[in-house]
Amino acid sequence: MLKKRRNTNIVSIGDLRIGGNQPIRIQSMLTSETTNVDACIQEIKRLDAVGCEIIRLTVPNQKSIESLCLIKQEMKKIGINRPLVADIHFNPQLAINVCEFVEKVRINPGNFADQKKFKKREYTDLEYEDELEKIEKKILPLIKNLKKYGCALRIGTNHGSLSDRIMNRFGDTSIGMVESAMEYLRIFRKNKFNNIVLSMKASNSLVMIDSYRLLVKKMDSEKMFFPLHLGVTEAGSGLDGRIKSAVGIGTLLCEGLGDTIRVSLTEPSEEEISVAKSILQSTRSRIFKTDFISCPSCGRTYFDLERTSKDIKSKTSHLKGIKIAIMGCIVNGPGEMADADFGYIGAGPGKVNLFYGKTCVKKNIPSENALDELIVLIKEKGMWINP
Ligand code: SF4
Q: What is the pLDDT of residue 339?
A: 85
State if pTM tops 0.75: yes
Q: What is the pLDDT of residue 170?
A: 86
The residues near 44 (Cβ < 8 Å, ≥ 6 apart) are: 30, 55, 71, 75, 80, 82
Q: What is the pLDDT of residue 145?
A: 98
Counting every residue, how long is the chain? 387
Q: Measured between alpha carbons, how far is 165 from 115 in angstroms, rounded to an integer?
A: 8
Residue 248 in contact with ligand 1 by CB distance below 6 A: no
List the residue whose alpha carbon is closest to atom 3 of ligand 1. 332
Instruction: Name the strand (E) or helix (H) holding 12.
Output: strand 11-13
Q: Are 262 and 272 in contact (CB under 8 A)?
A: yes
344 CB neighbour count, 10 Å cutoff: 28
Q: What is the pLDDT of residue 116?
A: 60
Residue 300 in contact with ligand 1 by CB distance below 6 A: yes
Mutate which of 327, 330, 344 for ligand 1 pocket (most atoms within 8 A of beta carbon): 327
Residue 338 in contact with ligand 1 by CB distance below 6 A: no
Q: What is the pLDDT of residue 2?
A: 64
Average pLDDT, 10 consecutive residues per value, the chain (387 residues): 87 97 97 97 98 97 96 97 95 95 95 69 81 92 97 94 83 91 96 97 93 97 97 90 96 97 96 97 94 91 92 95 93 79 94 94 95 97 93
Q: Measured between alpha carbons, how far is 15 from 22 in angstroms, rounded to an integer?
A: 13
The ligand 1 atom at the shortest distance from the C-alpha of residue 302 is 7
The residues near 206 (Cβ < 8 Å, ≥ 6 apart) are: none
Name the H helices within 122-173.
Answer: 125-148, 164-170
User: Which amino acid would we find at residue 131?
Assistant: E
Mutate which of 292, 293, 294, 297 for ligand 1 pocket (most atoms within 8 A of beta carbon): 297
Name the H helices within 149-173.
Answer: 164-170
List the residue whose alpha carbon is closest to atom 2 of ligand 1. 329
Ligand 1 centroid – CA 324 distance (Å): 16
Q: Are 197 and 18 in contact (CB under 8 A)?
A: yes
Residue 301 in contact with ligand 1 by CB distance below 6 A: yes
CA 358, 362, 367, 371 torsion-angle sign = negative
Q: What is the pLDDT of residue 180?
A: 92
CA 49, 50, 56, 58 torsion-angle sign = negative
Residue 297 in contact with ligand 1 by CB distance below 6 A: yes
Q: Measured between alpha carbons, how far is 8 from 364 in angstroms, rounded to an integer?
A: 51
Strand order in the sheet with 342-348: 291-294, 323-327, 342-348, 351-356, 359-366
- 358: closest CA among 336, 383, 381, 384? 336
> What is the rounded end-to-end Cα distance, in angstroms, of the chain?
35
